[in-house]
Amino acid sequence: MSEHLLEVRGIDAYYGPIQALREVSLHVDKGEIVTLIGANGAGKTTLLNTLFGNPRALVGHILFRGEEITRLPTYQIAKRGLALVPEGRHIFPGMTVEENLVMGTIPVGMEHADEDRQAMFELFPRLEERRDQRAGTLSGGEQQMLAIARALMARPEMILLDEPSLGLAPLVVKRIFEVLREIAGLGKTIFLVEQNANHALKLADRGYVLVNGVIELQGSGKELLGNPQVRQAYLGGH
Ligand SMILES: Nc1ncnc2c1ncn2[C@@H]1O[C@H](COP(=O)(O)OP(=O)(O)OP(=O)(O)O)[C@@H](O)[C@H]1O
Ligand SMILES: [Mg+2]
């Protein structure tokens, strides 16, 4: 049994002969905001994808709510209450905002769709204004909001986000991080992968630093923000 909401124990993952994750262990407790920071190619996206079974962890264990999910099919992992906002958003560009939200209900069914869509429109008023607009014509920031809202439509207990601030203007980035705090306030647990270490560590209760597939450092957001190694490598040395 694990007391953590999510617990990753010593996982290795490979792409063919290339090892992308080495003995990665971490945990996220209920209600926490935890961030994983690391440079390009460190293995951040691989870790999130491994949680969903692609690639599979060849060694080690992944537990969610105390139950092993390491070898479950992806759709069953989603049904258990984990949702991923993938890198690059992957919204359906030809569908409207509203249709994209409906797609988010797939793991749980349509029972609460109307109520939950309304809740998303309250959280993201911009999406309500654009409910009939094709998602591919939204701005980058709006698309990111839609990707987050779509993930929330599955009523996850925990939401995993892969670089939600990537490529967005500073004001939009600020808004994204505010939204994450609001989502945490709704009782969701958050695991956030970011290259924007400054924003992420300020938001997070705790953080991990991934270097070449290995967790090199961990600590509270505050500790990591003040760590000279982190400052040098991820905060431009300031
Ligand atoms: N499908 C794949 N096939 C082969 N190698 C891959 C594949 N996906 C990722 N890799 C390799 O695995 C390593 C980790 O990549 P990953 O995408 O997890 O890094 P990342 O930390 O998310 O980087 P970024 O910040 O650029 O998104 C890299 O060396 C990458 O080239
Ligand atoms: Mg990535």
Domain range summary for the chain, segments of one domain joined by +: 82-155
**C-alpha distance from residue 42 to each of 33, 62, 117, 188, 205 (Å):** 21, 20, 36, 26, 22
Half-sphere exposure of residue 35: CA atoms within 13 angstroms, side-chain side = 27
Beta bridge partners, 134, equal 96
17: Cβ below 6 Å to ligand 1? no
- Check: CB of residue 87 under 8 Å from CB of residue 160: no
Instruction: Kindly provide the residue ranges of all beta strands, DSSP E only, lying in the chain, ordered along the sequence.
Output: 6-15, 18-28, 33-37, 59-64, 67-68, 82-85, 158-162, 189-194, 206-211, 214-220
195: Cβ below 6 Å to ligand 1? yes
Q: At what angle do helices 140-152 and 170-185 cross, to 10 degrees?
A: 10
Nearest CA to ligand 1 atom 2: 15
Q: Kindly identify the ligand whose nearest atom is closest to the C-alpha of 40.
A: 1
Report the C-alpha gap between 27 and 7 in whole angstroms: 4
DSSP 133: S
Give the H or E element holding residue 78.
helix 74-79
Question: What pLDDT is attached to residue 23?
Answer: 98
3-state secondary structure 199-237: HHHHHCCEEEEEECCEEEEEEEHHHHHHCHHHHHHHCCC
- Dist. CA 132 → ligand 2 center (Å): 31
Q: What angle do CA 129, 131, 135 make, to 5 degrees?
A: 115
43: Cβ below 6 Å to ligand 1? yes
The pLDDT tens digits for 55-79 are: 999 999 999 999 999 999 999 999 9
Query: What is the residue-level pLDDT of the chain in tens, covering all 238 positions?
Result: 568 999 999 999 999 999 999 999 999 999 999 999 999 999 999 999 999 999 999 999 999 999 999 999 999 999 999 999 998 889 999 999 999 999 999 988 989 999 999 999 999 999 999 999 999 999 999 999 999 999 999 999 999 999 999 999 999 999 999 999 999 999 999 999 998 999 999 999 999 999 999 999 999 999 999 999 999 888 876 5
Report the C-alpha gap between 143 and 139 in whole angstroms: 6
Question: What pLDDT is attached to residue 234?
Answer: 85
- Dist. CA 41 → ligand 1 center (Å): 5
Q: Kindly identify the ligand whose nearest atom is closest to the C-alpha of 213.
A: 1
Question: What pLDDT is attached to residue 88?
Answer: 84
- Dist. CA 70 → ligand 1 center (Å): 20
Nearest CA to ligand 1 atom 1: 15
Give the position, in ligand 1's atom list, of the atom nearest the Cα of 39.
25
- Dist. CA 47 → ligand 2 center (Å): 9
The pLDDT tens digits for 171-199 are: 999 999 999 999 999 999 999 999 899 99
213: Cβ below 6 Å to ligand 1? no
143: Cβ below 6 Å to ligand 1? no
